[in-house]
Structure 1
């Protein structure tokens, strides 16, 4: 998927565990299928998961999660990852890595939700809880700055997609939605705590209800519109309105949120269309959903 990816396999993970956490050395190790783009995930026994960055950029996320997850967890209504072991570079693997407690559930799939309305309420509860946190010293959330900070990358992606006609993207329509987001009033309140990457692959559900939120590598503070992604990357229209009403989202924040979600999808599609089917499929879903919404 990316240049500079470090090769990771079962044998490497076993060596890392044996060298740094010998109490777990005899447990089964197996790679988990994942649409993630930054980390490899390995099941460790029945109750743990090993998460290793695939690229150098993911190493900072490891340290940030170790710092903030224990502080955020008591404030949230939904379980989040718990770090059980802080792994260090070894065995030729160059970056820090972590062992987490296993969180059960499955990723929700847009268009196949069994309880979209209640799930929308669950997601709104989580987002509202994040926004209410007042912990000091927070980093700037990835993509949490002004909408205009995404402008160059978004316009480049739109032009890239013009050159891929087989994707069938209405690039003029996408550009119009993006222009509307740029014109929307910016957030004039204090920055709020954000997960900042509420993709379906970072949510776990059971029986259609939210059971866990994972992968806090983009966390920090910023524009609350950044955590509206599920409205378009997951929820159908009726549940989208449930989500918006539960959060009390004003028009300007909603327009910025739609633009931010579209921007992420436009950038992801040409980048991942041949390397990550899950990311590309969700990007296509977002683009269709946003443009159909008008």
Structure 2
């Protein structure tokens, strides 16, 4: 059962620590303004550095491997994708009492999209499908295993435990029997029998940037790697309304089995996140509630 607490082992980070790290390792940027950038993320802290950069530091030890992975793969992926992705400008190392690697990236302008408030949902759906298709088409060898790329059955115990926990929180109003039925349908869907494909594997609204209603950037590739293509269908339910959802599916040409697995994965993530974060992270719980409503309405 979840405790409703943030991830354990969070390292304290503040403006002064970031200034010291920059001054010690990147003196050419020491005079630039440092300002915490608000984010609903739970693994990294972000700080604006001047007008054109952002510093991203893991809050927990598990985020350190994401730093190394982005340094290795982002330069190789950038030219192969139709949408801007982060560019690593500086590779920071442990220091000043901070224990993990960290990075400085170029700033990417835009706003996180919000479900229910999209100005161009159909066009955004096409943009997202184009990005996912481009990821799938990448043939770079040696891809890591995507964080969410494994068999759906591996999520069964944690998903069912979350459903039972939500039965004990009636104020959330989750139809737990309906959620169980959707989850079991996803488990019955045939498994992916093709080769693993490249995935972003964390296409949450907080990892997307839009301008004028269109997708301008995709950020936070810490979960990327190869796996089941169903793992990159998350936006269908965590962001897009019904009409745009169908455009997303049609543009990608998603078969029924992959769609069912993708719906199940998206629901599983939301079911697990809601009781875990409901007292500590408003952004995560708001999105989880939206996903549960969208999935159950979809079926």
TM-score higher than 0.5? yes
Please name the residue that 2:58 is paired with.
53
Structure 1 outlier segments of 4+, above 2 Å: none
- Cα distance in 1 for residues equivalent to 2:185 and 2:203: 22
Shift of 1:135: 0.3
Please name the residue that 2:74 is paired with.
69
Please name the residue that 2:7 is paired with.
2
1:70-112 per-residue CA deviation (whole Å, 9 max, x = no partner) reads: 0111100000000000000101111000000000000000000
What is the aligned residue count? 294
- Cα distance in 2 for residues equivalent to 1:286 and 1:143: 17
- The normalised TM-score by structure 1 is 0.99
Shift of 1:162: 1.0
Shift of 1:175: 0.6
- Cα distance in 2 for residues equivalent to 1:181 and 1:23: 52
- Cα distance in 2 for residues equivalent to 1:8 and 1:76: 33
Gaps of 5+ in 1: none
- Superposed, 1:1-294 pairs within 5 Å as 1-294=6-299
Shift of 1:164: 1.1
1:30-69 per-residue CA deviation (whole Å, 9 max, x = no partner) reads: 0001011110000000000000000011010000000000
- Cα distance in 1 for residues equivalent to 2:81 and 2:235: 18
Shift of 1:152: 1.1
Gaps of 5+ in 2: 1-5
SS at match of 1:210: strand
- Cα distance in 2 for residues equivalent to 1:93 and 1:164: 38
SS at match of 1:263: helix
1:158-194 per-residue CA deviation (whole Å, 9 max, x = no partner) reads: 1111111111111111111000000000000000000
- The normalised TM-score by structure 2 is 0.98
SS at match of 1:198: coil
SS at match of 2:105: strand
SS at match of 1:261: helix
1:180-231 per-residue CA deviation (whole Å, 9 max, x = no partner) reads: 0000000000000000000000000000000000000000000000000000
